[in-house]
Amino acid sequence: MAFFTALPQMGGALSNWQQLMTFTTVAKTIVNSKVVETKTDINFRGVWQPMSPQDLMMKPSGQRSWKWYTCHALPEVQLNPDEIITYNSESYRIMKKSDYKEYGYIEYHLVQDYVGGP
């Protein structure tokens, strides 16, 4: 009996949907007792979409009315949960990172960040 270990590479399929995107990360450090923000642009190709109603139903009831999004990006983009990014002049917090590198992409769940954003 033969087993197949190769997983389908979705990175190629995503390329038809991808658009150029720029996320700006903000790193905060303390220098001489002052908070210094260092902004870094991350340019990549990805897919940005509102979170599906099925995924929203999995969120706690108080969070369902928030603006949630899903971003699919190639594995070169490395963001971490609780990191704040800006996209199209809005602040978002990374809430979940799902590593599907075997399939050729990373999935991020983001929520619009009303407090603590840059």
pLDDT over 80 at 11, yes or no: no
pLDDT of amino acid 62: 64
Q: What is the pLDDT of residue 58?
A: 79
68 against 13, higher pLDDT: 68
pLDDT at 66: 81
The Cα 88–Cα 22 span in angstroms is: 8
Structural domain boundaries in the chain: 11-112
Query: Tell me, which fold does domain 11-112 have in CATH?
Result: Thrombin, subunit H (2.40.10)
Which one, of 18, 22, 111, 113, lies nearest residue 73 by Cα? 18
Q: Which sign does the torsion angle of CA 95, 79, 11, 41 carry?
A: positive
Q: Is the pLDDT reported for residue 41 higher than 70?
A: yes
The pLDDT of 83-94, averaged and rounded, is: 90
Residue 36 has pLDDT above 70, yes or no: yes
Q: Provide the pLDDT for residue 99.
A: 93
Three-class secondary structure of residue 59 per DSSP: coil
